[in-house]
Amino acid sequence: MSLLWYATRATGEITLLFLTVVLTFGVLSALRVGGRRVPRFVIAGLHRNLTLAGLGFLAVHIATTVADSYAPIALTDVVVPFGSAYRPIWLGLGTVAFDVLIVLTATSLLRTRMGYRRWKALHWAAYACWLAAVVHALGTGSDVRSSLFLLLAGVCAAVALAAVAWRLAAAGPGKTGLRAGAGLLTLATVLVVGAWTVSGPLADGWARRSGTPASLLGKASSPGPGTAGRTPTPRPTRATRSAGDDERGDGE
Amino acid sequence: MTWRLRVDPIACTGHGLCAELLPETIDLDEWGYPIIGSLSDGLLPLARRAVADCPTLALLLERDRTR
């Protein structure tokens, strides 16, 4: 069972990496980056094919999450957000990101049939999709307090922010108000998510506050017969984690 | 059945992907906009790819009725 949960965490983090790289390649193609050395069709191709590869990791991430019996996550939670028994809001954001990603991929593959304007209007949602995925990772992730995860999330956020900033700066003349508004919205999002990360997932008692079922919280503080046979894996963050806070990290 | 490529001059913003993917048929003018040549049937798969990959969907593949 713990193998499934480790697979879930690993593939989730890989998917976050993929989404960030894909977002960056999307911005690069919108900014017409490319020339003789790296032709533009290569950047467009990487944007598409890395999305499809990322979807593969995401499929494993979702399948292992549902298959793992530790947390009560049902099959409906894969597509219907905010209804799960386990951390409903933060798991639900992952579901939202998944739904949006599926819609964006499908509409991009059928792009020639739906028209450029409709496709593009929809494709702006990619930024929201990335944000939902990041907040999902921070809100449900079992490894949020590990320094490696924080490094990964930090690098992903920095890369995505740089891409967005470049996109806004280089969007060409006109629409100054819209671009300034988007810039302010980005800044506000960074501040809100940053403050929430420090006061939420990184603070004590997040497992309880995020909506983890009480039965799971109990299991962690007093290992029952189900967890007795398992060897706890020491991880760099064990020292900083208070008992019973992250039920996953201590129980498995 | 013969096919030809056409550029929607209003939609095209000169990304130039089409000329990268189909240099046999498409040249770029000095401002980076495509100049379409004749399309042989053997290039049809590549032409389809160029149409699908155009960032602004400005490249169109049509049946050629003039020939």
Q: List, for residues A35-44, the tens digit of each pLDDT value.
A: 788 999 999 9
Contact B15 A111 (CB under 8 A): no
Among A229, A231, A227, CA closest to A247: A227
**Chain A residues touching residue B55 (CB < 8 angstroms):** 29-30, 44
Contact A44 B17 (CB under 8 A): yes
Considering only CB atoms, B17 lies closest to which of A41, A115, A116, namely A41
**Chain B residues touching residue A30 (CB < 8 angstroms):** 55
> Which residue from B minimizes the CA distance to A109?
B52
| ipTM of the shown complex | 0.87
Taking the C-alpha atoms of residue B15 and residue A219, their distance in angstroms, rounded to an integer, is: 58
Give the CA distances from residue A248 to residues A130, A151, A160, A162, in Å, rounded to whole numbers and listed in that order: 25, 20, 29, 33
Among A209, A232, A227, A207, CA closest to A217: A207
Q: Which residues pair with residue B60 across a beta bridge?
A: B6
Are A230 and A239 in contact, with CB atoms under 8 Å apart?
Answer: no
Pick the CATH number of B3-63 from 3.30.70.20, 3.40.1080.10, 3.40.50.300, 3.30.830.10: 3.30.70.20
Report pLDDT for B56.
93
Q: B60 touching A, CB under 8 A?
A: no
Report pLDDT for A228.
39
Q: Which residues of chain A have pLDDT under 50?
A: 221-252
Report pLDDT for B8.
94
Segment (H or E) for A252: none
Are B60 and B6 in contact, with CB atoms under 8 Å apart?
Answer: yes
Residue A37 tokens read as: 């050395």
Considering only CB atoms, A40 lies closest to which of B11, B16, B57, namely B16
Backbone φ, ψ for residue A76 (5° rounding): -65, -25
Report pLDDT for B29.
93
Report pLDDT for A86.
86
Within 10 angstroms of residue A217's Cβ, the number of other Cβ atoms is 15
